[in-house]
Amino acid sequence: MPRVLSVGTAVPPYPLKQEEAQSFARELFQESLPRIERLLPIFRNAAIRQRWLSRPKEWFEQPHSFSERNEAYVKTAVQLGEKAIRRCLESLEIAPQEVDHIILVSTSGLATPSLDARLINQMGMSAHVKRTPIWGLGCAGGAAGLARAYEYARAFPDETVLLVAVELCSLTFRQRDRSKSNLVASSLFGDGAAAALVAGETSRPVAAGATGPLIVDAMSTIWQDSLDVMGWDVTDDGLQVIFSRDIPAIVKQEMQPVVERFLDRRGLTVDQVERYIAHPGGAKVLHAYEETLGLSGEAFRHAKSVLEENGNMSSATVLFVLEKELEEMHHPGTYGLVTALGPGFSSEMLLLQW
């Protein structure tokens, strides 16, 4: 079975305290949303202390064209992606030229040639490295990318796969959009990049003694008639967020049978899974997971920590959580569940075993 050997992460240089974000939102939205003071508690209730932005807070006080924001996305995404990759590979003393396949996940900007091609050029990777850019999976992208890396490494067990997830959610902010959905997005989303190395069981790093949890299984789920739950509307001014308030309710209603079905494929129950590596879409989403699966808040401590320090970084976030999990000690045989939700409306899950 393939293994996750390492995770590296990176954030941009501009921190934003949640109190600053709330003040910014009050100033910007008060004319279009007369009851702004009744809405501002979403900032306090988000369980976020700070986030990291690709540009200083002052930059967002002025409108910027879609092309200007996307140009900033491409430049910054390559910078952060390289940092995350180097942190991932250096811990294993693996050179970028040794990577056999790169999977690049991002949904917060547009780039052709894609970001993976730019990173290959910038980092001097092999001219023959295989690449798979994935766009449109949103918050589910980190888990989905990990699942695709697992499947590839199963098919080619002597190869290594580098998953890179880069999301610069702040650069999708449309300053002229004074809608409630844009206000909610401004309370949650931040920027970040993460890279994970997945290696087949006969690959060079594993043969040399590198270790990490096995990826035992993966499952995708998409619910019918739920396209309006999460995603983007493409407008003349850029990407307009779609973010339904019903997401926590959907988690409570739909996730338990999906998780149970997934675990049952391996003869497991929820009680036998000791570690939960969840994408923290928001505090209410994590609470909904706890309720529907009958888990304590301690089960999602890493997810809550990442949410508090980084906000929701879309696809990259679950890999930040995985990085924290990999830093801990585990008894042999311990199972972990990676889970993330995204546009579709969809679920991506992986089963890990230490």
28 forms bridges with which residues in the sheet? none
d(CA 183, CA 101): 39
Give dist(CA 9, CA 104) in Å, integer: 14
- Judged on CB neighbours under 10 Å (0-12, 13-18, 19+), 177 is buried
- 15 DSSP 8-state letter: E
Strands 14-17 and 50-53: antiparallel
* Element spanning 62, H or E: none
Check 89, 139, 169, 241 and give the catalytic one: 139
- Contacts of residue 57, defined as CB under 8 A and 6 or more positions apart, other chains included, come to 14, 16, 20, 24
In whole angstroms, what is the distance from residue 150 CA to residue 136 CA?
20
Would you state the structure tokens that stand for residue 286, as one six-digit string? 């994590």
Sequence-ordered list of residues with C-beta below 8 angstroms from that of 128, at least 6 positions apart, any chain: none
Residue 113, preceding peptide bond in cis (omega within 30° of 0): yes
* Cβ-Cβ contacts under 8 Å for 107 (sequence gap 6 or more): 135, 136, 137, 138, 141, 167, 232, 314, 315
169 included as an active-site residue: no
What are the catalytic residues?
139
